[in-house]
Amino acid sequence: MFWRSRKRRRFGKKTGRFGLFFWRDPFWEPRVWLRRMIRITVMLLLLVVTAPPALVLVYRDFAPPGTLLMVFRMFEGEGIRKEWVPLEKISRHVPAAVIAMEDNLFCKHDGFDWAAIFEAAADQVRGEGALRGGSTISQQTAKNVFLWPGRTFVRKGLEVPFTFMIEWAWGKRRIMEVYLNVIEWGPGIYGVEAAARHYFDKSAGGLTRREAALLAAILPNPRRWSAASPTPFIKRRAGMAQARMRDLGLLADCAR
């Protein structure tokens, strides 16, 4: 017993403090690796659980610096034009136009248009069409700010808790403000301020009802369509947006 303890001490002296550390905690022992893996797993779980709510709370008061879509586009060689503007400096026609075209129940739902979701799920069961989600403005904001672009079930699943969190922590005005400042409005163009200056050479606060309707009309595919040179199809969509804006009334008040 005495000889063994002396041998351990000699080993520690020969190999220094690192040798003593590895003697007491040898990396080749399975139980040591198990403990380490448990610690790492617990830390990762804590990070996964705490990081999303923390980011949601941070972005409630601070502007998101960017989105993963911007990063992807940048690696594809595109530039980034964006300028954050508070909601009160954006023309009141813009929130009304995007609500009219993208999510006319924005002010009434809890983040999800359940009727559209059930309809999309039924289409999937019947094998009709590609995966779609009937995404609301809240869902699109959650996806753009916290997740990556795509239509996979994994991404759609992760979108759900983020949508609940921003609805609870931000409220409708903040959701609309973030949405209008991060969405893609053309190649390398992000946010309504950059879009207004690119298409109409004016600030977002000076957009007219027609210009706001044109911006909302191109949102399904802003990389293909232009608000400055609208096709007949986009002109019809803009006219539809203007008609819906007149009918919205109180349904758009939460974003003003």
- The predicted structure's pLDDT at residue 42: 83
- The predicted structure's pLDDT at residue 118: 74
What would the mean pLDDT of 66-86 be, rounded to a whole number? 93
- The predicted structure's pLDDT at residue 132: 47
What would the mean pLDDT of 98-117 be, rounded to a whole number? 89
77: left (phi over 0), alpha (psi -120 to 50) or beta: left
Residue 23: pLDDT over 90 = no
* The CATH number fitting domain 63-255, selected from 3.30.830.10, 3.40.50.10310, 1.10.3810.10, 1.20.140.10: 1.10.3810.10
Domain ranges of the chain: 1-51, 63-255
Angle at 158 between CA 35 and CA 117, to 5 degrees: 150
Element (H, E) at 26: none
Structure tokens at 198: 């690119």
